[in-house]
Structure 1
């Protein structure tokens, strides 16, 4: 196993304090948004096997079957198929959706064929992969996820008393669900900027007033007013009114599949995703919004946000998702309990988020224990290689390596579905 040295990304929406508090470091005064753990080329983790630091991507490239296992290479090619992050949102992220695998492959091939530079601001598809993702709250965590039922949104908009919103209310009440959601989102994102900016301003003023007065929609109105404060005049403020507002408590999670509009608003969480950069933005951003492509990818289906809670499986709390690229579980070892064994035919990244956890090489400990039994004088379990992880520290475990976990902390385990 290898201790990881990871990069923190200073995106503007990041919190200046949440990651430093977890890591036990001094704030820099600048936003610290995401810490990446994995082999993504944008910021690969680094390891040191005695010859100096080297990127995890280079290590995997040199011996993919050794590091990833034959099953992973056969299913996903010679690359780590997931990316693990700590995400600290101090202000709202862009409203966005991700394509499915077929859409991503087709979109990437089309932009490659047309010669769109990979780093162009108007490029939609950075790679040919999909980007399902899972976010688990470490602190209370606010987000937007999936469409509200049109009738609920109609009530919400009507309650604002803004004349410019009446056409949207009428559509939401009169049209079938999919048609209503598509028509309103198309109208909002396709409107002339000067016209929609005034509507956003009037909506934000009304939402701020009603949020202060309280009532059944106070949280939704407060969210609207807050988004308008960060993104004045942005049509994404109105688009966000179509979505469910959800507040996760620590340990609760959201799974974001293809075509589901979403945005993270505030909080600290563990995020696990397929190894992709494909994002289509709906608003709340100064970046490019390709409305026609976005509307082709969005799934216009209403429903609850779908809060996930982990299920106990073989001593681990597992967050079940419908994808094979990743599997996330949480372990909270009981102090003084026997070490918990972890073994997988696939690679693992282990992240400590509270307390301390001890990782031991089970095979080396077994050899050491056998030696002690033969009279070598070595205490059982004393000879194995080990790592102690504190909050924010992580390790990469190659496929097939057997380890044990003990301690008094919280450990998240990211791996591939076997």
Structure 2
């Protein structure tokens, strides 16, 4: 295709996107699935169910792990525009399906809004996901923008983009995670009750933290905490294997005499999934978090965390950068992780959402790129999502409904469907037949307030 033909083709696509009257339209999306070994197997996975409904396939592989359902423009799992219910974008646009990113590039200002397009160019600044977790994910952290840029330049095959990755997990089921470092008081308890860890740490550091940390300044305490954690993570594999073996044996015996703590029970579960892994010991240093459905946890750059089990809605800046150091068979970069961590101590904030109306709650973490709304509509109930200066993605988890836009477009949608709503478009949604359960991801409102 020469340059002139390419211009004509893009013009044709643009006309199809907006129509002859230039009205904005809803876009249906066909989305991507990721099969990682920590995912839930086969039809037991919420991700598998959504992918089946969204893709129009007849069945899922009963032996495959379905881990993540991706909605967005990231190159590792792009979404595609669908016209009609035959899931055939190629029929609408010719030789190949049109990705959401390519679609946005036809008119970024119209679809994203001028402020968003000016800040992030022709790309969606957030990535929207559903996760189904059977086996613990790695102990990891996501780099800030400067480090992401450096890692991408040095190892582009591993760190595939140069963006940071703040994220939020909103529980669909009971959800377990490790997130952030425990308090100094809790670490003292660990050093006094877990001899297997003390054996791997310099005696002077362990004793100093146990006896003198209250008299030390915060910076000295932080340095001491960092030293102890770094020694554990950098320990010889043989010593780690021996320590984990001793720990497992001791907890297995104590289990017969007393009720193990929630953290101790978790340790034994992690050992069964990742035998002899240093991440089992690292878990003692991290906060154990249990979320109920409707509760959310957010993770900033350079914060250690690991999702353990359950299903969740996840939203993040558009990136797939992960620095791993434990509970994984993938590449580890222990020194990079140790150097990037902020070593902030204390239990993470749990978001329970702010009520927008009787059916909708908003979850807004302290990041510009995204926020998430959770909406549960009883049969025949209606709710409006007002016009906002940025784009939105709607995911229908269950139920059926009708949607009417401020441009007089009316259409039906059902579970498994994903809709892209352009900037400055108000939508009104009504549940039909049964209860409608859906989620909306969009630009954080604080971004528009701060301009």
TM over 0.5: yes
User: Structure 2 residue aligned with 1:258, among 286, 289, 301?
Assistant: 301
**TM-fit CA distance, 1:169:** 4.8
Please provide the CA RMSD for this pair: 2.3
Q: Does residue 386 of the first structure (1) align with residue 411 of the second (2)?
A: yes
Bigger drift between 25-34 and 192-201 goes to 25-34
Counterpart residue number, 1:245: 288
Distance 2:272 2:362 in 1: 38
SS in 1 for 2:407: helix
Contact 1:349 1:396 in 2 (8 A): yes
Distance 1:323 1:26 in 2: 36
Bigger drift between 169-178 and 283-292 goes to 169-178
SS in 1 for 2:230: helix
Q: Superposition pairs for residues 340-355 of structure 1, below 5 Å?
A: 340-355=384-399
Gaps of 5+ in 1: 365-383
Q: Superposition pairs for residues 63-142 of structure 1, below 5 Å?
A: 63-105=107-149, 107-108=150-151, 112=153, 116-119=154-157, 123=158, 125-142=159-176
**TM-fit CA distance, 1:397:** 1.1
**TM-fit CA distance, 1:314:** 5.2
**TM-fit CA distance, 1:346:** 0.7
Distance 1:405 1:342 in 2: 11
The size of the alignment, in residue pairs, is 387
- Note closer, same or farther for the CA distance 1:339–1:146 as it changes in structure 2 (3 Å cut): closer
Q: Superposition pairs for residues 8-407 of structure 1, below 5 Å?
A: 8-16=33-41, 17-19=44-46, 20=48, 28-49=62-83, 51=92, 53-105=97-149, 107-108=150-151, 112=153, 116-119=154-157, 123=158, 125-162=159-196, 164=199, 167=203, 169-170=206-207, 172-173=209-210, 174-175=212-213, 176-211=220-255, 213-215=257-259, 218-313=261-356, 316-364=360-408, 384-390=409-415, 392-407=416-431
Q: TM-score, normalised by structure 2?
A: 0.80
- Note closer, same or farther for the CA distance 1:211–1:261 as it changes in structure 2 (3 Å cut): farther
Q: Does residue 416 of the first structure (1) align with residue 443 of the second (2)?
A: yes
SS in 2 for 1:363: coil
Distance 1:143 1:134 in 2: 12
Contact 1:333 1:340 in 2 (8 A): no
Gaps of 5+ in 2: 1-25, 54-58, 84-90, 214-219
Contact 1:141 1:268 in 2 (8 A): yes
SS in 2 for 1:80: coil
Q: TM-score, normalised by structure 1?
A: 0.86
Distance 2:65 2:309 in 1: 13
Distance 1:247 1:212 in 2: 25
Distance 2:404 2:267 in 1: 49
Cα offsets for 1:133-177 (capped at 9, x unmatched): 000000001110111113313323533454626747535424443
Cα offsets for 1:334-356 (capped at 9, x unmatched): 43334424322211100122333
Contact 2:101 2:122 in 1 (8 A): no
Counterpart residue number, 1:370: none
Bigger drift between 148-157 and 273-282 goes to 148-157
Contact 1:357 1:410 in 2 (8 A): no
**TM-fit CA distance, 1:10:** 0.6
Contact 2:244 2:276 in 1 (8 A): yes
